[in-house]
Amino acid sequence: MTTRSITVALGARSYEVRVGRGVRHDLASVLPPGVRRAAIVTQDAIPYEVAPGCEARVFTIGDGEPAKTLSTIESLCRSFAQWGLTRNDCIVAVGGGVVTDVAGFAASAYHRGIRYVSVPTTLLGMVDAAIGGKTGVNLPEGKNLVGAFWQPSAVLCDTETLATLPPREYRCGSGEMAKYHFLTGDDLGALDLDARVARCVEIKAEVVSSDEREGGRRAILNYGHTLAHAIEIVGDYSLRHGEAVGVGLVYAAEVAARLGRIDAARVAQHRAVVSGYDLSTTVPVELATEDLIALFARDKKALDGVTFVLDGPNGVETVTGVAPEILRDAMEATR
């Protein structure tokens, strides 16, 4: 089996991402030096176990976005303290994006920061959530509004785990994969699964290495996410994240077209790529336009009024101050 290794180059905070079948069994070899205990954060539904090669205890959290709360962080940290986890120990996240987001944030906060390793078991986790050090939880007012930049010590993307994903969970990761088509122009569909995952990791690693804390260029990784996050919140998470991102990519293309940044052929390409991943290209009819637009200003990248990541002649980039009438018109075109 071929294992691919990608480095997220961040100086003293650099780390390796391994991609391949069975790499979760490498966990003991990538734990930080001196670790005596490992707190394994996972969910009951995750069918995979890991062996850190040291004393370990499993801590489970709830399923889905409802588990991404400050109360979950408090519960985890209290459990760590009761067990006696110290700053010299580590946390291991085993699961999808919810697990890596929550466990990473807990790692950033417990004892003011301890080391952690991510073992993503979903496509979404492998190509997006577990890479780059963005951790966090939701508030009723918005998605991922409380969190920290906290880089893992290593990431193990075991593609063997993807074989057991339900179709909808797989599509959730496909939404993020679709995004990468427009960041690079790569034809990811020409690659086998392991190579496709590794290429997505390479793209994200390069962007993160150039802008760790999203002061500029890293915002392009949020392509399609402004509407996606609003859809998740207004729809009470009836659409999964990647499904919402697929719709968000088409909507962003419609906004860009109305600003004269791209032409109709490029919009059609967005629709073709998204639908090619078996994802919807339309906003759910039950979600009101004004409810969705009202959430745009709460998005984390909102700098000067409503801020979008949009395609254009210079590629995907941040655009501020998009007029409300354009947002409404583009929404109707995405119905």
State pLDDT tens for residues 53-69. Answer: 999 999 999 999 999 99
- C-alpha–C-alpha distance, residues 208 and 211, integer Å: 5
Q: 220 and 265: one domain?
A: yes
pLDDT band at 231 (very low <50, low <70, confident <90, very high): very high
- Kindly give, in sequence order, each residue whose CB lies less than 8 Å from that of residue 211, ignoring residues fewer than 6 positions away: 217, 218
- C-alpha–C-alpha distance, residues 46 and 16, integer Å: 24
Higher-confidence residue of 301 and 148: namely 148
DSSP-assigned beta bridge partners for residue 91: 39, 116
Picking from 217, 228, 221, 272, the residue whose alpha carbon sits closest to that of residue 251 is 228
Picking from 186, 168, 160, 181, the residue whose alpha carbon sits closest to that of residue 280 is 168
Q: 178 and 324: one domain?
A: yes
Residue 223 confidence (pLDDT) above 70: yes
Question: Rounded to the nearest 10 degrees, how much is the dihedral formed by the CA atoms of 23, 241, 41, 86?
Answer: 100
Domain of residue 121 covers: 4-165
Residues designated catalytic: 112, 134, 176, 204, 214, 218, 222, 225, 229, 241
For residues 15-36, give the mean pLDDT. Answer: 97
CATH number of the domain that residue 279 is part of: 1.20.1090.10
Q: 130 and 231: one domain?
A: no
Residue 238 confidence (pLDDT) above 70: yes
| Total domain count, the chain | 2
Residue 257 confidence (pLDDT) above 70: yes
pLDDT band at 300 (very low <50, low <70, confident <90, very high): low
Total-model pTM: 0.90
pLDDT value, residue 304: 58
Q: 176 and 150: one domain?
A: no
Q: 250 and 299: one domain?
A: yes
Q: 128 and 175: one domain?
A: no
Q: 187 and 253: one domain?
A: yes
Q: 134 and 13: one domain?
A: yes
φ/ψ of 263, rounded to 5, equals: -105, 180
pLDDT band at 101 (very low <50, low <70, confident <90, very high): very high
Residue 298 confidence (pLDDT) above 90: no
Picking from 92, 45, 100, 94, the residue whose alpha carbon sits closest to that of residue 68 is 100
Picking from 147, 67, 140, the residue whose alpha carbon sits closest to that of residue 295 is 140
Q: 147 and 109: one domain?
A: yes
For residues 211-236, give the mean pLDDT. Answer: 92
Two tokens at 89? 């120990």
CATH number of the domain that residue 120 is part of: 3.40.50.1970
pLDDT tens digits, 185-205? 878 888 999 999 999 999 999
Q: 157 and 30: one domain?
A: yes
pLDDT value, residue 143: 86
Q: 177 and 320: one domain?
A: yes
pLDDT value, residue 1: 64
Domain end, chosen from 165, 181, 214, is at 165
Domain end, chosen from 131, 165, 199, is at 165
Q: 127 and 230: one domain?
A: no
Between 123-132, 144-153, 211-220, the lowest mean confidence (pLDDT) is in 211-220
Mean predicted lDDT score pLDDT of the chain? 94
pLDDT value, residue 215: 82
Question: Residues of the chain with pLDDT > 70: what percent?
Answer: 97
